[in-house]
Amino acid sequence: MLLTGFDTAAFLRDTWQKKPLLIRGDGAAWRNPCHPDDLAGLAGEDGVEARIVTRTKKTWKLEHGPFKAKRFAHPGKKPWTLLVQAVDQAVPEVAALIEPFRFVPNWRIDDVMVSYATDGGGVGPHFDQYDVFLIQGLGRRRWRVGGRCDATTALLPHDDLRLLAEFTPTDEWVLEPGDMLYVPPGIAHDGVAVGDDCMTYSIGFRAPSRAELVSNWCDHLLDGLADDDRYADPDLAAQANPGEIAPYAIARLHAMVTDALGDRDAFARWFGEYTSAPKNADIDWSPDEQVDPGVLRKALSGGAVLRRNPASRFSFVRSGDGALGESIVLFVDGRSFYCGGEAGVVAEQLCAETCVVIDPGAVHDSALSLIAALIDQGSIAFDD
């Protein structure tokens, strides 16, 4: 079992975004959640992001999926690695790997990438811009970690892969099934399969760049700005020099920009919708017909279990005085839901748990409307 006896507070205080950490697991208790053949099957589906990295004597070759079955029947003799993104959204057993890491906020969790490698396979020495937990699922992998990298770090010339031009390892471990390695952002690392049938589960976390935030926030604002919202100076007075851009003009122009950019509440609403947008809209749980309120009320009162769609993202912000359940804005799959009272309590519960049993005392009209809307849009469903 992952993170048994794990000291979360100590990890966040001493290790998170500071240094790598090797966590040995219980190999006897570990169960690999995804079979290699199932991973290959996912790599052949449309809409699934899959890559194959092959190591040659002189360089690295990258191929993009989807891949036909015959690609794996005759893979060649050179070391290769298959990487499939967001496997947690298709395989519930892989999604369960995320649960021990819920000490990180929902909006920061990205997905679980799964890799399969033959002996000697890997993706080369590199660094990521985000935190990652690397869980050994099958076989063995040798991990080496090095120093901290940044935008000035030299990279090999390659059109598709960001590989380090120089890599000097400082630590090295061989991971067995159930073992895990945490690597902070910017730390150089390199994993190489030791033997065939090597599977690794990479739990990655979102870390939006300043450029990404500014660009997307500005694009959102631009969509809502009217063309007749323009600079005006009804109090214009003659200037001594018409070539001067006067301080009062600069102040008004600057305010036109910063007043829009600086609306914190509007930014919070935008960010909640932006960061909850589904990564894979193809995993659609929406029913053919809208849920009947009477049937829904009866099912919830009877203790029915609601399960979140693994492709859906749930988060919320508090507004008003911040009292529990009084004023919640829930964000699910790029939409906002304003929740008060019992609906706010249900909203928080849905964000905190993957499977939820609603307290029959909370099944009031507002909570019922929220749950019905989430079922109808495919974000939750009854757990059969």
- Look up the CATH number of the domain holding residue 377: 3.40.366.30
What are the beta bridge partners of residue 204?
132
Question: Do 56 and 190 sit in the same domain of this protein?
Answer: yes
**Rounded CA gap, 32 and 178, in Å?**
8
The region that residue 320 occupies, defined by phi over 0 for left and psi between -120 and 50 for alpha, beta otherwise, is left
Residues for the chain: how many in total?
384
Predicted pLDDT at 194:
97
CATH number of the domain where residue 44 is located: 2.60.120.650
The residue whose two tokens read 């770090």 is 153
Of 163, 188, 205, which residue is a domain's last? Answer: 205
Same domain, 187 and 244: no
Residue 168 per-residue DSSP state: -
Could you tell me if 302 and 332 lie in one domain?
Answer: yes
| Residue 276 included in any domain | no
Q: Is residue 275 part of a domain?
A: no
* The model's pTM: 0.89
pLDDT value at residue 325: 42
Could you tell me whether strands 132-138 and 198-205 are parallel, antiparallel, or unpaired per DSSP bridges? antiparallel
Are both 50 and 189 inside the same structural domain? yes
Single-letter residue type at 349:
Q
Residue 299, domain member (yes or no): yes
Identify the CA nearest to 185 among candidates 211, 150, 215.
Answer: 150
186 & 312 share domain: no
Looking at the fold, whether 225 and 169 belong to one and the same domain comes out as no
Do 233 and 160 share a structural domain? no
| 287 within domain boundaries | no
Q: Are 191 and 233 part of one and the same domain? A: no
* Residue where the block lists tokens 């995993």: 283
pLDDT tens digit at each of 384 positions of the chain: 677 789 999 999 999 999 999 999 988 889 999 999 999 999 999 989 999 999 888 889 999 989 998 888 877 789 999 999 999 999 999 999 999 999 999 999 999 999 999 999 999 999 999 999 999 999 999 999 999 999 999 999 988 899 999 999 999 999 999 999 999 999 999 999 999 999 999 999 999 999 999 999 999 999 999 999 999 999 999 999 999 999 999 999 999 999 989 999 999 999 999 999 987 766 778 888 898 888 888 888 888 899 999 889 999 999 865 444 468 999 999 999 999 888 898 999 999 999 989 887 767 888 899 999 999 999 999 887
Helices (H) and strands (E) in the chain, counts: 10, 17
Best CA proximity match to 133, nearest among 123, 125, 143, 124: 143
Q: 37 and 81 share a domain?
A: yes
Residue 116 lies in a domain: yes
Cβ-based neighbour number of residue 192 at 10 Å: 22
Are 319 and 377 within one domain? Answer: yes
Q: Is residue 272 part of a domain?
A: no
- Decide if 278 is inside a domain: no
Q: Do both 18 and 154 map to the same domain?
A: yes
Nearest to 273 by CA among 215, 314, 326, 221: 314
Helix (H) or strand (E) holding 54: strand 50-55
Distances in Å between the Cα of 112 and the Cα atoms of 83, 115, 150, 278, 303 are 11, 10, 24, 14, 31
Residue 103, phi then psi, degrees to nearest 5: -70, -10
- Domain hosting 112: range is 8-205
Last residue of a domain, one of 184, 205, 226: 205
Same domain, 159 and 303: no
Q: Residues of 4-34 as b/e, b for ≥16 C-beta within 10 angstroms?
A: eeeeeeebeeeebeeebeebebeeeebebbb
Whether 236 maps to a domain, the answer reads yes
Domain count for the chain, please give it. 3
**Sheet strand arrangement including 187-193:** 171-175, 141-148, 187-193
Which of 4, 2, 14 minimizes the C-alpha distance to 184?
A: 14
Give helix 264-276 / helix 210-224 axis angle, nearest 10°. 110
